[in-house]
Structure 1
């Protein structure tokens, strides 16, 4: 974002079964992002470069705005989910424009 540092908070990352029958596992990442306008929406996506450590999932944060919105800083939720195979991940790094915004330890939920 031009003109300042994007604020984020309340990050969590979980590796949990998708259902109680012990089916596949899913990585779920949640957080809050302060956006500058009422029509701005935060998004998380897998980073183009997977990084050098296979136990860390890199996610790229972006903010888009559509339509007309008023200037008002407000906190909005952001969410990412991915089916997991193998050992999964121990950490998630949230980046934006090459800057690391947060590093989150993945909590493994055993059902």
Structure 2
């Protein structure tokens, strides 16, 4: 019925949309827009780069677990050497006699051929 700007909020150039840039809600709207943009970027990283994010999280954890396991293995080998007698019944293989085997042969030796 009357002036459309007051009742309907106005148009693009009559101050309705542009009023937000000069009004009281500018910083709230800017913060919401920034958070929305950060949310979109985060979702992209999770969806598109999920493997890399998992690697960033899990690789240090696996390294720490592996180091702990190796430390315990070293300690148990030290303890077992002190407990076992010097002249053990198992003959030790000289380093010169040991030969390198392929990965396939190592797997077959460990797991057997099916």
TM-score normalised per structure 2:
0.15
The structure with higher relative contact order (CA 8 Å, sep 6+) is 1
Per residue, is there more helix in 1 or in 2?
2
Report the TM-score when normalising by structure 1.
0.15
- Whose strand proportion is higher, 1 or 2? 1
